[in-house]
């Protein structure tokens, strides 16, 4: 009797929904375990696990801005999300989801969690199954046709060629407000978040440098040095609102030892419970 009452009450909790976005070279199925973990922790919660097009191949070849628009369409068409939601982005999915926040954020994101997102770009050949693709186009990543065709070219940030990056980058330079003309909406939408949670792995061999997950990147003309977030112009001049989040205790940075491709796997379940689950534990009735 008491157990039945507890189950009934737990299912009536007005949990804030959760939206998940997978990474590059993957599809929604890759996030099946995190979906199960969330539903087990919060009975009755609504979870939307988004896939854009044919997840695996389209994650490489649909332009990042177009993926943001397609992501926004799926969110806006879902009546279960109309009051807002918590958002988890994984790897490239972190940039798609941040694009949604900065460019749309309607319905609004409450807590935003990213797993090894290349927020400050990536530079270098990763140790992944599609290394061949990087090697084949390394010297062409700033070519206009490649920028239009390959997603990771749009967040490739070469510390030895920053003027060209700022000129031709189709996605990241805009998203991070790195150009002289700043988009104030991007900043205001980030500031509106309840929390931003940045998780990176100390053993990342896919996003280079791994600390890009904390918005940290290589120093100009020196890929042996990483500029701490607090010393970057992005933070000091507060181009997208990270400084405001930090000073109001809403920017949370954590590190882990999961391999880049293991975040949604059982081996990283404890990491999920420690750094993600607490930020999903909220309802529409919370003050």
With a CB cutoff of 8 Å and minimum separation 6, the contacts of 2 are: none
Residue among 22, 30, 59, 91 flagged as catalytic: 91
Are 171 and 65 within 8 A, CB to CB? yes
Selection from 176, 181, 249 nearest residue 217 by Cα = 176
Q: d(Cα 284, Cα 287) in Å, to the nearest integer?
A: 8
Residue among 22, 110, 119, 260 flagged as catalytic: 260
Residue among 59, 204, 212, 238 flagged as catalytic: 204
- The H or E element containing residue 18 is strand 18-21
204 is catalytic: yes
With a CB cutoff of 8 Å and minimum separation 6, the contacts of 123 are: 156, 157, 158, 159, 208, 209, 217, 218, 223
Q: d(Cα 107, Cα 124) in Å, to the nearest integer?
A: 36
Structure tokens at 147: 């920028």
222 is catalytic: no
65 is catalytic: no
Residues marked as catalytic: 91, 204, 260
């Amino acid at each position: 009797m008491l157990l039945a009452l507890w189950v009934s009450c737990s299912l009536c909790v007005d949990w804030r929904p959760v939206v998940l976005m997978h990474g590059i070279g993957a599809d929604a199925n890759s996030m099946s375990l995190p979906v199960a973990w969330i539903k087990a922790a919060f009975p009755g919660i609504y979870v939307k696990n988004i896939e854009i097009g044919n997840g695996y191949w389209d994650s490489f070849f649909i332009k990042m801005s177009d993926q943001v628009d397609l992501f926004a369409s799926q969110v806006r068409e879902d009546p279960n999300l109309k009051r807002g939601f918590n958002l988890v982005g994984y790897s490239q999915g972190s940039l798609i989801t941040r694009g949604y926040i900065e460019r749309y954020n309607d319905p609004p994101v409450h807590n935003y969690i990213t797993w090894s997102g290349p927020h400050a770009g990536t530079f270098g050949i990763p140790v992944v199954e599609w290394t061949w693709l990087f090697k084949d186009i390394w010297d062409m990543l700033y070519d206009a046709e490649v920028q239009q065709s390959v997603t990771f070219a749009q967040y490739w940030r070469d510390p030895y060629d920053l003027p060209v990056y700022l000129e031709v980058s189709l996605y990241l330079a805009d998203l991070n407000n790195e150009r002289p003309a700043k988009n104030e909406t991007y900043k205001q939408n980030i500031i509106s978040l309840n929390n931003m949670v940045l998780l990176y792995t100390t053993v990342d061999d896919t996003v280079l440098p791994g600390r890009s997950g904390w918005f940290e990147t290589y120093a100009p003309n020196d890929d042996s040095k990483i500029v701490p977030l607090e010393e970057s112009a992005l933070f000091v001049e507060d181009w997208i609102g990270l400084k405001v989040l930090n000073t109001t205790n809403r920017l949370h940075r954590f590190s882990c030892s999961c391999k880049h491709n293991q975040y949604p796997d059982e081996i990283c379940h404890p990491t999920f419970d420690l750094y993600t689950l607490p930020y999903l534990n909220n309802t529409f009735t919370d003050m």
